Amino acid sequence: MWKIKNNTNKQYLHKFETEIIIPIFGMIRDYVIEIESGKIELPLERVDLWKTTDIFLKLSDAQKNLLSYIMQKTVSGRKLQDLFYLVVVTFNSSYVEAIFRIYKEQNGKVFAGNYDIQPIQIDDYFKELFVTYFYNTFFADDYVWDILVGEGYNRKSFHKNFKIENKMVVCPYCDIEITIAGSNNNIEHFLPKSKYPLIAMNPLNLISSCYACNKADEGKGDRIPQFPIVSPYNEMIGESAQFDVDFLSKRIALRNKGNQAHHNYFKFLKLYSRYADPIVFRSVDHAAESLFETLSNYPSPTKESIDSYIQKRERMNNLSFALKSIISKYPQYKAYKST
């Protein structure tokens, strides 16, 4: 719902891309080409294959130490160097180049603000490389980030940077949940990493969201959205949301006043049903009554002062879009004058 940015985390993840992802891609490509050309003969030893590539030999000592550490990392009983071996003896250069092309195309679209990306079948070895190793393991590896940026960096760092940069403690997806508590924070992939592994480390596909938005039963889970779709990195989606209130049934209804991309977003996050929950009405109603009580202590409050009060609470208090939309339906509001 909220328009967001992620420039601070983008700097960290760009460093990861340039010094880890791209070199490993290049070493895989070079090794496969040398096997095809006959310069390297099969069978191969599994150990230290990458150390003979031109890319590795041209690196600084610190970068060599980092890649050596990464290649020796064991996840679920398999070292990354073993996965490297499996990739170079399984695929030809055409397939490796195709994967690299898809990687650049998908990431390029996301950086350009285009999330209408159809999923492409990616071999399990490359999924393992990007999701199991790059995202699940190295994202939270202190040694990796110490070498890359000279300081620790992990998922908590991501959330902290995100909140500070956007000056918010509400979930940007839904505006329903508060995300102050660390247990209510997820690094959420807008386009799910299970279907789009090659953009698993793209900062503009990662959002610090509430727990509910990340769950399949309450939020988006790992479903693929219907296209066209709009992301919080594109615009203030909440401005395309209209909220109607029924005081008799004590329910709020979210209506789309935008286009198809906005409708698909609201549907993707299950916001139509989530806002219809009676608990949401009670929360907004309580916020409205508290607002009127607060303003009653001020001399000659106006409708403009109400709108200003709501605006000041935005991003630090939940349900601001709904409150701003339905506040004018309250008799107390109608009693106030405009300046």
pLDDT band of 296, cuts 50, 70, 90 = confident
How much of the chain is helix, strand and coil, in % rounded to 5?
A: 55, 10, 35
Averaged confidence pLDDT in the chain: 93
137 vs 16: CA distance, rounded Å? 13
Render pLDDT for 269-282 as a digit per residue (tens, 0 to 9): 999 999 999 999 99
Q: Please report the pLDDT score of residue 24 as a whole number.
A: 96
CA angle 158–160–162, rounded 5-degree value: 65
By C-alpha distance, which of 266, 125, 255, 137 is closest to 197? 125
pLDDT above 90: residue 334: no
What is the mean predicted confidence (pLDDT) over 301-317?
81
Closest C-alpha among 177, 127, 132 to residue 317: 177
pLDDT digits (tens, 9 = 90+) for 25-34: 999 999 999 9
- Cβ atoms of 208 and 159 closer than 8 Å: yes
Give the pLDDT confidence score for residue 263 in this predicted structure. 98
Closest among 127, 148, 1 to 70, alpha carbons compared: 148
**205 and 191 in contact (C-beta within 8 Å)?**
yes
Per residue in 226-236, pLDDT tens?
Answer: 999 999 999 99
Model pLDDT, residue 339: 65
Lowest mean pLDDT among 22-26, 37-41, 81-85, 194-198: 37-41
Can you give the pTM of this predicted structure? 0.93
Q: What is the pLDDT of residues 208-260, one digit of tens each?
A: 999 999 999 999 999 999 999 999 999 999 999 999 999 999 999 999 999 99
